[in-house]
Structure 1
Amino acid sequence: MTYTPASGRYETMKYNRTGRSGLKLPAISLGLWHNFGGNDRYENSRAMVRRAFDLGITHFDLANNYGPPPGSAEENFGRILKQDLAPYRDELILSTKAGYYMWPGPYGEWGSRKSVLSSLDQSLKRMGVDYVDIFYHHRPDPDTPLEETMSALDHAVRSGKALYVGLSNYSAEGTREASSILKQLGTPCLIHQPSYSMFNRWIEDGLQEVLDEEGIGSIVFSPLAGGMLSDRYLGGIPADSRAGGPSVFLNKEHITEARLAKIQELNELAQQRGQSLASMALAWTLRRGRVTSALIGASRVEQIEDNIRALDNLDFSEKELQVIDDIVARAE
Structure 2
Amino acid sequence: MVSTVRTVLGDVPPTALGVCDAHDHLFFRSPRLPGQELQHVSAARAELAAFLPHGGNSVVQWTPYGLGRRAADLPPLSRETGVLVVAATGLHQAVHYDDETLGRLHGRLAEVFVTELTEGIGTSGVRAGLIKVAGGFHGLDAHANRTMRAAAEAHHATGAPIAVHLELGTAALDVMDLLCGELGVPPHRVILGHLNRSPDIVVQLQAAETGCYLSFDGPSRANHATDWRMPSAVRALADAGHGDRLLLGGDTTSAGARSVDGGPGMPYLLRRVRPRLEVELGAEAVERILVQNPSRAFAVEWR
For 1:299, the aligned partner's letter is: R
Q: Residue 216 and residue 99 in structure 1: after superposition, are their counterparts in 2 closer, same or farther (change >3 A)?
A: same
Residues 32-72 of structure 1: per-residue CA shift (max 9 Å, x gap) = 1777886654312212124435523423222237xxxx632
Matching of residue 307 in structure 1 with residue 269 in structure 2: yes
Confirm or deny: 8 A CA contact 1:108 1:115 kept in the other structure.
Answer: no
Q: Residue 223 and residue 126 in structure 1: after superposition, are their counterparts in 2 closer, same or farther (change >3 A)?
A: farther
Residues 171-212 of structure 1: per-residue CA shift (max 9 Å, x gap) = 1431231221343x6686421113415xx414x242x12322
Q: Shift of residue 115 of structure 1?
A: 4.1
| Consecutive aligned runs of 4 or more in structure 1 exceeding 6 Å deviation | 22-25, 33-37, 86-89
Bigger RCO (CA 8 Å, 6+ sep):
2
TM-score (norm 2): 0.57
Q: Residue 317 and residue 213 in structure 1: after superposition, are their counterparts in 2 closer, same or farther (change >3 A)?
A: closer
**1:213 corresponds to:** 209
Q: Residue 307 and residue 187 in structure 1: after superposition, are their counterparts in 2 closer, same or farther (change >3 A)?
A: closer
TM-score (norm 1): 0.53
For 1:59, the aligned partner's letter is: V
2:248 to 270, 274, 294: 294
Confirm or deny: 8 A CA contact 1:95 1:133 kept in the other structure.
Answer: yes
Q: Residue 120 and residue 104 in structure 1: after superposition, are their counterparts in 2 closer, same or farther (change >3 A)?
A: farther
1:134 to 125, 130, 135: 130
For 2:269, the aligned partner's letter is: N
Structure 1, unmatched stretches of 5+, are 1-16, 230-258, 264-277, 319-332
**1:163 corresponds to:** 160
Residue identity over aligned pairs, in percent, reads: 9
Q: Secondary structure at the match of 1:196?
A: helix
Residues 10-45 of structure 1: per-residue CA shift (max 9 Å, x gap) = xxxxxxx9xxxx998856445117778866543122
Q: Residue 221 and residue 137 in structure 1: after superposition, are their counterparts in 2 closer, same or farther (change >3 A)?
A: same
Q: Residue 156 and residue 85 in structure 1: after superposition, are their counterparts in 2 closer, same or farther (change >3 A)?
A: farther
Q: Secondary structure at the match of 1:63?
A: coil
Q: Shift of residue 215 of structure 1?
A: 0.5
**1:201 corresponds to:** 199
Q: Residue 191 and residue 29 in structure 1: after superposition, are their counterparts in 2 closer, same or farther (change >3 A)?
A: closer
**2:60 corresponds to:** 60
Aligned length: 235
**More helix by percentage:** 2
Residues 54-101 of structure 1: per-residue CA shift (max 9 Å, x gap) = 523423222237xxxx632x11x5413234439979x54433441323
Q: Residue 108 and residue 45 in structure 1: after superposition, are their counterparts in 2 closer, same or farther (change >3 A)?
A: same
Q: Residue 115 and residue 201 in structure 1: after superposition, are their counterparts in 2 closer, same or farther (change >3 A)?
A: same
